[in-house]
Each structure stands twice: as C-alpha cells, then as structure tokens.
C-alpha cells in the first residue's frame, strides 16, 4: 500500500492572495462614509502588521466610530466589490503546481461567505487545486475558528499549516502540526517570530523548497519524544 501524501493546510488571505489593495480601499471608503480622515497607506499597514486592535489602529476615532467601522468592515470585506482587488501572491500559482503531486492541498480560511469564496477561486483559476475547502462560514452562524475546524477532522498522520497570522499558528498548535509563516500578509516578522512558528518565509513562492525539510524535522522531533518516553 502506498504511503498517503502529507496534508498541507493553506490560508488564503495574505498567504495566497495579496490583500493590500482590498483592505486599504475599504479602509478609505469607510473613513469617508463616516466623515473621518483615513490613515495613510503606510501607517495603516504598519499598525495592522504589528497586530493592532481597532483601538490602536484608529486611536483618535472614538468608541462609537470604531464600532461602526468594525461593523462595516465585516459586512463589506468579502463582497465582490472588494474581493475583485485580490491578486495571487507572485509565484503562488507555480508553487501550488509544484506541491500538488506530493501533497494533499486543503484550503483553510475564516471567510464567512462560502459562495463568494468559491466564485473567487473560479475567477482566479484555483477551483480544482484543493482537495477540500475548510471555510468558517460553511458552519453556519457559529463561524468556527480554524482550530475548531481542524479539531473536527481525523488528524492526518503528517501535515503542515501555512499562514500569515496568529490564527494560523493557533490552528497548527491545535492540530499538533508544524507551522510555516509567511510575510506577505497581516503580520510582520517580529510579531510572528514572537509566536514561535517552525519557519518564517517571505512568501509561498519559497514553500516548495522548504516544506519537506520542515516536515522531516517535525517527524524527527516526534520520534525523539516517543523514544524518550519509552
């Protein structure tokens, strides 16, 4: 019997997709609608990538305005008006093509609108790339976290999580899998490094060159633990 391929759980926004234009356009739109001054692009992303909550992202707005900003953000960020600005991270398509023969690719995302997600994957030419889509919004109003979605599965013997935020690192910890963090998304190197991922890379374009070594190292660490406990 042939050995089952390892599973690669891939985040979408910020990992496979460049979301910078989408995020900043919506930020400016909401600011204008609320008669507030939008942050400059550099300031907006500097604060976002440091992990700033709304209070730190928009400290001068006041509680009511920040609450309305948060409500509008969630209501609009997944609409086609904004997802049309998403672009594949350079090299992502080629990386996925190189990984497909050796790995089972599973998309793991907190997107709430599963229908728009699937339409977007078709538009991007990614419809048939993933063997499974794990989408928070597919679970109804509960909108499960990534860790919760993974806990519902029978864990694969070998797996890796790839993502750009603390949510992805938490999901990997829940699964007991190594985590590879990328720098193309929501968090900067210092923020991610403090959470202790197994590896930080610039983008998924580098993934085919490093994923096997991370998987092998994780398997070696597990073997050492078993040997020490026996």
In a domain, 1, yes or no: no
Mean predicted confidence (pLDDT) in 37-47: 97
Are residues 92 and 182 both part of a single domain? yes
CATH number at residue 100: 3.40.50.1000
DSSP class per residue in 94-162 = HHHHHHTTTSEEEEEE--S-HHHHHHHHHHTT-TTT-SEEEEGGGGGGG---HHHHHHTSPPPSSEEEE
Mean pLDDT of 12-33: 98
Look at the chain and report how many structural domains it folds into: 2
pLDDT digits (tens, 9 = 90+) for 58-101: 999 999 999 999 999 999 999 999 999 999 999 999 999 999 99
- Let me know if residue 78 belongs to a domain: yes
Same domain as 44, residue 127: no
Q: Do residue 166 and residue 105 come from a single domain?
A: yes
Give the model's confidence band at 221: pLDDT under 50 very low, under 70 low, under 90 confident, else very high: low
- Do 120 and 194 lie in one domain? The reply is yes
Residues 55, 157: one domain?
Answer: no
Query: Is 130 found in the same domain as 50?
Result: no
- The answer to whether position 180 is within a domain reads yes
The string of pLDDT tens digits covering residues 150-160 is 998 888 889 99
Checking if the pLDDT of 224 tops 60, the result is no
Domain of residue 28 covers 20-83
Asked if residue 14 lies in contact with residue 186, where contact means CB atoms within 8 angstroms, the answer is yes
Q: Is the pTM of this model over 0.85?
A: yes
Is the confidence at residue 222, as pLDDT, over 60? no
- Residue 212 pLDDT > 70: yes
């Amino acid at each position: 019997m042939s050995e089952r391929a390892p599973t690669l759980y891939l985040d979408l926004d910020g990992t496979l997709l460049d979301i910078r234009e989408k995020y900043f356009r919506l930020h400016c739109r909401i600011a204008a609608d609320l008669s507030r001054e939008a942050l400059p692009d550099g300031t907006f992303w500097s604060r976002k990538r440091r992990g700033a909550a709304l209070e730190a992202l928009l400290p001068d707005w006041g509680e009511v305005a920040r609450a309305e900003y948060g409500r509008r953000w969630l209501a609009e960020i997944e609409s086609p008006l904004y997802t049309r600005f998403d672009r594949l991270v350079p090299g992502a398509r080629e990386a996925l093509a190189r990984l497909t023969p050796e790995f089972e690719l599973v998309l793991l995302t907190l997107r709430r609108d599963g229908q728009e997600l699937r339409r977007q994957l078709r538009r991007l030419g990614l419809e048939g790339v993933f063997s499974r889509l794990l989408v928070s919004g597919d679970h109804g109003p509960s909108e499960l976290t990534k860790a919760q979605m993974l806990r519902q599965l029978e864990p694969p013997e070998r797996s890796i999580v790839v993502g750009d935020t603390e949510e992805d690192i938490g999901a990997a910890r829940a699964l007991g899998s190594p985590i590879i963090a990328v720098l193309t998304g929501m968090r900067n190197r210092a923020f991610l490094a403090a959470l202790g991922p197994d590896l930080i890379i610039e983008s998924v374009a580098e993934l085919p060159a490093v994923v096997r070594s991370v998987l092998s190292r994780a398997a070696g660490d597990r073997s050492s633990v078993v040997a020490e406990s026996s």
